[in-house]
């Protein structure tokens, strides 16, 4: 890594833990003036955490950060902005209930400060009296960008800004980035779209498992090389599925429990069809924001598809709410464990919750049902000292409760959305076993996972989503991380 004295930004040994989960182990990065620097890595490599540390949103546990050679430590994002780092975050930072003009005031800016940039982004006459919540997402991202530029930073950090933009709008952003570079300013650019990374960026730093593992110039580099760099050599010997002894193969002629036909939803889900067979664990993976959230919202009854059909056991499902999906046997385990549980109630009550869905059981559970709850608690192997309130459990144990509460009631399909995110390795293994057991018991599982290496460990078959469509399908046992990551970037998988 070059470490010239005139670097705009020099970060050294940045580390960050969230409880037992390590987000960043040690990251070094330096950005030179007039450089467009790409920050790349698979999901969970630590890119967004690293950007948040640099931007003053979160505080690192270890490591130092220098701007123009001066040590800095920010408590608030605006302090970073004053020091010369402005960021367009992945989550929109405009206040929904304020007008765009008022949002500028909040950041200490006036309309004339952003005007020159708005012109370049083709938003010159945009109505800034509109409430931010009434502005389309893509426009909000561009205004976020104009606001960041108006702060006149030396380093501009763009976290997945192009994800929500049309190709034309993305081109406008690239023009602005080039202009910024001509002014001898710098950009740190994060994107899943490798094509645009290669066309706009000068150098790349690759993160993997919370470390910077490579740093190189992008001259003459190809997309496949970037994917290889993100995966690293360590992967050659990743545990293949057969070794784990968990997966089983399901015969093709087994009956189909869940069938999705040509699902379309608000441009986020485009013509998705698949079959889920009895006793199968079907994996789904994708980069962030490829429509997987919406697909699960459709299947769990939270939304209804614009067109297309969901067939459960041969009958079409028209769900007005998750209640209807649950009655059909589709039960959902969301990624946000707080969302699904009653944090102040006991493990026992949380597990019994689905049973109370029937009005005749409001006052009394049947005796055998009480037993089933007891058996489920035992099965989940949860430390019962903390069992009086679910909120005292660790993240991993909470996730076991969200899955476990469906075990006391009969269901057909378990829909799991990133169930092992931020969970320690031992609990992960227990969750894998739990899912395999569910499948062995005759139910089916559809699991979305952002952790590519867990796909072969737990799934029979895997689908890869990109831009709202399924772009790849194959048996999970042979799904290497390389194949999955390549497909997830919308690139063609070359069978070797």
Partner 1 sequence: MTATTPTAERRLGSPEVKRWIQRHGWTVGIWLLLVVLVIWYTTLIPKFGGFQTSTIITGGTSWIFLGVAQAVVVIAGGLDLGVGGMLVLTSVAAAQFMDGQSLGVILILAVLITIAAAVVNGLVGWIITVSKVPDIVVTLGSLFIYQGLALMVLPKVGGGTSGSFRWMFTGSENGIGSNPWPAIVVITIPVVIIAWWMGRTRSGLSLYAVGSDKTAAFLSGVRDAKTKIVAFAVAGAFSALAGFSSVSISGVGNPTTDGGTLTLNSVAAIVLGGVALTGGVGSVLAVVPAAMILFFFNPILSALGVDPNRAQVIQGILIVLVMMVAGVLEWRRSRRS
**Contacting residues toward partner 1, per CB under 8 A:** 57, 76-79, 81, 89, 91-98, 102-103, 105-108, 122, 125-127, 129-131, 134, 139
Question: Nearest distance from residue 164's CB to partner 1, in Å?
Answer: 16
For Cα atoms 19, 25, 29, give the angle at the middle one, nearest 5 degrees. Answer: 135
Residue 107 or 247: the one with the smaller Cβ distance to partner 1 is 107
Question: Nearest distance from residue 78's CB to partner 1, in Å?
Answer: 3
> Cβ(404)–Cβ(416) under 8 Å?
no
Question: Nearest distance from residue 376's CB to partner 1, in Å?
Answer: 33
Residue 248 or 338: the one with the smaller Cβ distance to partner 1 is 338
Instruction: Look at the block and give the residue holding tokens 């992008």.
Output: 218
Question: Nearest distance from residue 411's CB to partner 1, in Å?
Answer: 34
Q: Give the single-character DSSP code of 468.
A: T
Which residues have C-beta within 8 Å of that of residue 494, sequence separation ≥ 6? none
Residue 122 or 178: the one with the smaller Cβ distance to partner 1 is 122
Question: Nearest distance from residue 287's CB to partner 1, in Å?
Answer: 22
CA distance 112 to 116: 8
| Nearest CA-CA partner of 66 in 145, 13, 23, 1 | 13
Question: At what angle are helices 111-120 and 167-182 packed, to 10 degrees?
Answer: 110
Residue 91 or 243: the one with the smaller Cβ distance to partner 1 is 91
Count Cβ atoms below 10 Å from residue 397 Cβ, excluding itself: 22
Residue 150 or 276: the one with the smaller Cβ distance to partner 1 is 150
CA distance 310 to 415: 14
| Nearest CA-CA partner of 263 in 300, 296, 310 | 310
> Cβ(207)–Cβ(27) under 8 Å?
yes
CA distance 1 to 3: 6
Overall residue count recorded for the chain in this entry: 496
| One-character DSSP codes across 121-165 | TT-TT--TTSBGGGS-HHHHHHHHHHHHHHT--SEEEEESGGGGS
Question: Nearest distance from residue 197's CB to partner 1, in Å?
Answer: 24
Residue 4 or 125: the one with the smaller Cβ distance to partner 1 is 125
Residue 79 or 369: the one with the smaller Cβ distance to partner 1 is 79
Question: Nearest distance from residue 136's CB to partner 1, in Å?
Answer: 9
Q: Categorise residue 122: left if φ over 0, alpha if ψ from -120 to 50, beta otherwise.
A: left
Question: Nearest distance from residue 91's CB to partner 1, in Å?
Answer: 7
Question: Nearest distance from residue 165's CB to partner 1, in Å?
Answer: 15
Residue 161 or 414: the one with the smaller Cβ distance to partner 1 is 161
Residue 107 or 430: the one with the smaller Cβ distance to partner 1 is 107
CA distance 7 to 150: 22
């Amino acid at each position: 890594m070059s470490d010239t004295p005139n670097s705009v930004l020099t970060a050294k040994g940045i580390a960050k833990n969230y409880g037992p989960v390590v987000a960043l182990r040690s990251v070094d990065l330096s950005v030179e003036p007039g450089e467009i620097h790409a920050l790349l890595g698979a999901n969970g490599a630590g890119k967004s955490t690293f950007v948040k540390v640099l931007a003053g949103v979160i505080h690192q546990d270890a490591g130092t950060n220098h701007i123009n050679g001066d040590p800095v430590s920010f408590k608030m994002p605006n302090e970073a902005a004053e020091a010369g780092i402005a960021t367009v975050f992945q989550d929109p930072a405009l206040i929904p209930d304020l007008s765009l003009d008022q949002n500028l005031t909040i950041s200490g800016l006036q309309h004339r400060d952003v005007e020159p940039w708005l012109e370049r982004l083709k938003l010159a006459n945009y109505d800034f009296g509109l409430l931010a919540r009434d502005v389309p997402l893509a426009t909000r991202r561009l205004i976020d960008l104009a606001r960041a530029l108006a702060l006149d930073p030396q380093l501009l950090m763009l976290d997945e800004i192009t994800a929500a933009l049309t190709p034309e709008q993305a081109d406008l952003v690239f023009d602005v980035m080039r202009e910024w570079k001509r002014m001898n300013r710098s950009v740190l650019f994060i994107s899943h779209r490798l094509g645009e990374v290669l066309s706009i960026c000068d150098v790349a730093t690759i993160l993997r498992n919370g470390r910077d593992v490579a740093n190189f110039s992008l001259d003459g580099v190809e997309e496949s090389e970037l994917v290889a760099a993100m995966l690293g050599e360590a992967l050659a010997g990743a545990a293949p599925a057969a070794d784990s002894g968990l997966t089983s193969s399901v015969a093709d002629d087994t009956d189909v429990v869940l069938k999705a036909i040509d699902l379309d939803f608000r441009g986020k889900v485009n013509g998705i069809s698949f079959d889920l067979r009895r006793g199968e664990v079907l994996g789904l993976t994708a980069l962030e924001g490829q429509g997987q959230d919406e697909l699960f919202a459709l299947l769990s009854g939270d939304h209804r598809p614009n067109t297309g059909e969901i067939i459960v056991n041969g009958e079409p499902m028209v769900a007005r709410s998750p209640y209807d999906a649950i009655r059909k046997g589709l039960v959902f385990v969301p990624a946000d464990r707080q969302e699904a549980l009653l944090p102040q109630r006991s493990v026992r009550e949380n597990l019994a919750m689905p049973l109370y869905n029937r009005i005749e059981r409001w006052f009394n559970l049947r005796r055998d049902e009480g037993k089933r709850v007891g058996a489920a608690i035992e099965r989940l192997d949860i430390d019962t000292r903390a069992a009086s309130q679910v909120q005292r459990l660790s993240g991993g144990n909470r996730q076991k409760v969200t899955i476990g509460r469906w075990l006391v009631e009969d269901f057909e399909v378990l829909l799991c959305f990133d169930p092992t995110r931020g969970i320690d390795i031992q609990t992960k293994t227990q969750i894998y076993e739990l899912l395999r057991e569910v499948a062995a018991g005759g139910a089916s599982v559809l699991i979305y996972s952002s952790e590519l290496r867990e796909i072969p460990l737990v799934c029979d078959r895997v689908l890869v989503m990109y831009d709202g469509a399924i772009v790849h399908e194959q048996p999970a046992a042979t799904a290497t991380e390389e194949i999955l990551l390549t497909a997830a970037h919308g690139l063609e998988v070359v069978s070797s």
